[in-house]
Amino acid sequence: MASELDFTTLARAAARLKVPTSDAELPALITAASQALADWLGYEAHLRENVQETVPSEGGRVLFLRAGAVRRIVSVTVAGAEVPASEYFLESPRYGRILNRRGGWPFTGQWTDGVAPMPLRAHDTGEIVVTYDAGWRTPGQEALALAADPASTLTSDLPAPLEEAALITLTALRSGAGRDPNVISRSIGGGSVTWAADRTAVPALAQQLARPHHKSTRRKQS
């Protein structure tokens, strides 16, 4: 069964691996490869609508969402009051960067004590809330929609390089099953083994294909 985050279809995965679509391992491999790629991208890539996120602010003009591939900002509220949409815009969908047109966002965090307190350390106080849509409609979401309603017209808009990157990752996961992932070469004659210094679940070719959507700047959970 498909999951909403699956970056490819059962048929395409089966064709790539040259196995029947009934292969019992396929659904789990597709999900694992899709999640590995999303982890590498730095955000959940499947379409999510009306996500509400509280965002810390250092008092500058920019807010950073945890999400990437942001499609639109629905609203921004500060201390319960909605900020007019004309006062900000989505400067970078990939990085989830929101720029204030007219000045700085209010500082959220700790202040110094005294008669004239000063901003000390920013953290997420829950004061700033952003509602937004992010991600792409994945083949998994398309499959789920069709399963629920055969007349569904929902189609995937996941970029083709991301689906190919997921297929490459899936192939690597399948070929590496049952092997030590840190062993990258063996020499039978001399009995030598070469060990990887750093092994990632997403192969280099998949990373190259997905790099235009990679989010290098990430905000951790406060």
Convert the pLDDT of each residue in 54-67 to its tens digit: 999 988 999 999 99
pLDDT over 50 (residue 196): no
pLDDT over 90 (residue 164): yes
Convert the pLDDT of each residue in 97-151 to its tens digit: 999 998 899 988 765 666 656 666 778 889 999 999 999 999 999 999 999 999 9
> For residue 27, which phi and psi values (nearest 5 degrees)?
-55, -45
